[in-house]
Structure 1
Amino acid sequence: MTRQSATTIGFLAVLLWALLALFTVGASEVPPLQLNAVCFGIGGSIGVIWTTASGRWGELKGIPLSVYAFGTVGLFGYHFLYFSALRAAPPAEAGLIAYLWPLLIVLFSGLLPGERLRPLHLLGAALSFAGAALIVAKGASFSGEHGLGYALALACAVTWAGYSVLSRRLGTIPSMVVTVYCLATAGLSLLAHLALEETVWPSTGMGWASMIGLGLGPVGAAFYVWDIGVKRGNIQLLGTASYAAPLLSTLVLILAGIAAPSTALIVSALLITTGAGLAAYQSRQTG
């Protein structure tokens, strides 16, 4: 697999994450940790089918337990910290801080062997972050009383960036290992749900369809293609391009009649596109 094709596959995760808001709205009746448990259960089932169909279960037996622990901490830790941040701080502020992870991926990637972090990578990531902030942080007003929530959101961003960048060091580990990550995350999410939430199931067919859609796409297949991208693709470009997710997510909501278009959306699109273009240009220049 070439670096370019792996990058393209990784970007499929960004496209799938663009459906996250739409499906989350549709499944809003379900408590977040319960939703997490169900969706990662579905996501793990995708991996079970993939691994069984390809006859590659044997490849998972020799993988160290530390790798499984790493992936589970990455997936479960990110989502648990994110939901905790939303409980401890307003969604706009928590969301903005949590969405530092693409920028952190670009920064952290400079520490990887064989990777070169250049000025246009940084400028592109910063511009794209500014574009995403116009959407994610609409109406945000930071206050000291929500310091714990902000800290949790930052920990969330660091966790996902760290997981993504360190996955690069596991390039020889097959991406079907995400199957175990998902199933373990589903189990931990179920335990957290039983301890912290009341069980509520969707009351409509649309709610059930949205929950299943989340498990199949944004909280399922997305993690498999992301694993391929960060292990074998252009990680700086993927990090910068990830800022397209909130933009595309908002466009999907507009098409669904849930949100209205705005000037901020146009400015955001220009900033994110420019940022991604700069990162792509820098990557071509440096090979």
Structure 2
Amino acid sequence: MTVQLIANPSRPLYVSITAALFAVVLWAGAPLLVDLASSVPPFQLTAIALISGAIVALPTSLRKRGSRKLQSVQVPLSLRWKLAIYGLLPTLILGAIGGYLTGVGMAPTAEAALITYTWPIMFIVISQWLFHRRIPLPVLCGALIAFSGAAVLLSPGTGTEGFSQYLLGYALALMAACCWALYSWVCQAAPVAVAPIMPGLFLLAALGAAIADILTGAAFGLPSGIALVAGIGLGVGPYGLAMVAWDVALRSGPAALVGSLAYGVPVLAAAFLVIAGVAAPDWRLPTAALLVVVGSFVASNLRPAS
């Protein structure tokens, strides 16, 4: 089955851009929250974040479902799409969040984050190829320029020393990037909006995280104090409202532009770390910000495929 996606004409472009930027800002706050919750095992933290995200996304889900009942035309789902939405998406959510949190704990944070931030490139390339059977030059150039901004900002200064020691962490970070890219594509290509069923998908992924937590032998029980607050905040913001906003952005805007805006995550994350006093500012931050802006502009300068 071939899927041809066209941005929702009933929503102006600024809605997509605003939703994408909102998600980017929330995602950029994730490193601080993860650092505050570093004492929590990764799959336990994943389960806490996903349950919190399901709760915060519930009002939006109920509102969207209510509006769908007023529509006279319902889109029937084939078995393939039911399996993709209710089976594949929760698995991708678990792989993206659990893989990232586990990889950061097993490899240097900057290097693992840089690998994970390759997911917008994957998403744009997959989207353009599957929808149009070609990858336009502006998309490739814009993606590479924007990614170079993330590379400048997050590139480690120690070369590849100790690479084999952190190989598993790097592999998990790469898996997280692949999961984010495939998750974004499935949300964009699905014949129905994913946002109304987002809480259910979160809970399915949380169940998988809880099972993984038990299988890894982690101690059972909720964390306390600031770690618990940070875990809940991680679900409410970066992995709750941000994912709902990202679904809106994907379904109402062009993939090239929306995907390119995700390169703002490492830039804002670094800015937040500087403001919090965790990192010292240097020349890389403004350079990375400029490259992200230029790359987003180049990638979005694409005429719709005929």
TM-score between the two structures when normalised by the length of structure 1: 0.86
Larger helix proportion of the pair: 1
Paired position in structure 1 for 2:219: 198
Paired position in structure 2 for 1:97: 115
Deviations 1:141-182 (A, max 9, x none): 333454444333333222211121122221423421211111
Match of 2:196 among 176, 199, 208: 176
Tell me the CA shift for residue 135 of structure 1.
2.5
Query: What does residue range 77-88 of structure 1 map to in structure 2 within 5 Å?
Result: 77-86=95-104
Judged with a 3 Å threshold, the aligned counterparts in structure 2 of structure 1 residues 278 and 150 are, in CA distance, closer, same or farther, namely same
Secondary structure of the residue that 2:203 maps to in structure 1? Answer: helix
1:12 partnered with 2:22 = yes
Judged with a 3 Å threshold, the aligned counterparts in structure 2 of structure 1 residues 257 and 150 are, in CA distance, closer, same or farther, namely closer
Secondary structure of the residue that 1:30 maps to in structure 2? Answer: coil
Tell me the CA shift for residue 110 of structure 1.
1.1
Judged with a 3 Å threshold, the aligned counterparts in structure 2 of structure 1 residues 151 and 18 are, in CA distance, closer, same or farther, namely closer
Moved more, 181-190 or 23-32: 23-32
- Contact 1:171–1:232 (8 Å) recurs in 2: no
- Contact 1:171–1:231 (8 Å) recurs in 2: no
- Contact 2:146–2:294 (8 Å) recurs in 1: yes
Match of 1:152 among 172, 178, 185: 172
Q: What is the rounded CA distance, in whole Å, between the counterparts of 1:199 and 1:57 in structure 2?
A: 40
CA RMSD of aligned residues (A): 2.7
- Contact 1:11–1:229 (8 Å) recurs in 2: no
Q: What is the rounded CA distance, in whole Å, between the counterparts of 2:158 and 2:180 in structure 1?
A: 23
1:252 partnered with 2:272 = yes
Q: What is the rounded CA distance, in whole Å, between the counterparts of 1:144 and 1:134 in structure 2?
A: 23
Q: What is the rounded CA distance, in whole Å, between the counterparts of 2:124 and 2:171 in structure 1?
A: 21
Paired position in structure 2 for 1:41: 51
- Contact 2:193–2:251 (8 Å) recurs in 1: no
Judged with a 3 Å threshold, the aligned counterparts in structure 2 of structure 1 residues 81 and 54 are, in CA distance, closer, same or farther, namely closer
Number of aligned positions between the proteins:
283
Q: What is the rounded CA distance, in whole Å, between the counterparts of 1:195 and 1:168 in structure 2?
A: 33
Paired position in structure 2 for 1:131: 149
Secondary structure of the residue that 1:17 maps to in structure 2? Answer: helix
Judged with a 3 Å threshold, the aligned counterparts in structure 2 of structure 1 residues 66 and 108 are, in CA distance, closer, same or farther, namely closer
Moved more, 266-275 or 239-248: 266-275
Tell me the CA shift for residue 7 of structure 1.
3.6
- Contact 2:47–2:207 (8 Å) recurs in 1: yes
Unaligned runs of 5+ in 1: none
1:242 partnered with 2:255 = no
Paired position in structure 1 for 2:131: 113
Q: Which amino acid aligns with 2:219?
A: E
1:2 partnered with 2:11 = yes
Secondary structure of the residue that 2:129 maps to in structure 1? Answer: coil
Moved more, 267-276 or 1-10: 1-10
Deviations 1:74-131 (A, max 9, x none): 1012223334434554433332222210111111121243697432222121111111
1:122 partnered with 2:140 = yes
1:25 partnered with 2:25 = no
Secondary structure of the residue that 1:198 maps to in structure 2? Answer: coil
Paired position in structure 2 for 1:230: 250
Judged with a 3 Å threshold, the aligned counterparts in structure 2 of structure 1 residues 105 and 140 are, in CA distance, closer, same or farther, namely farther
TM-score between the two structures when normalised by the length of structure 2: 0.81
- Contact 1:33–1:192 (8 Å) recurs in 2: yes
Q: What is the rounded CA distance, in whole Å, between the counterparts of 2:293 and 2:173 in structure 1?
A: 25
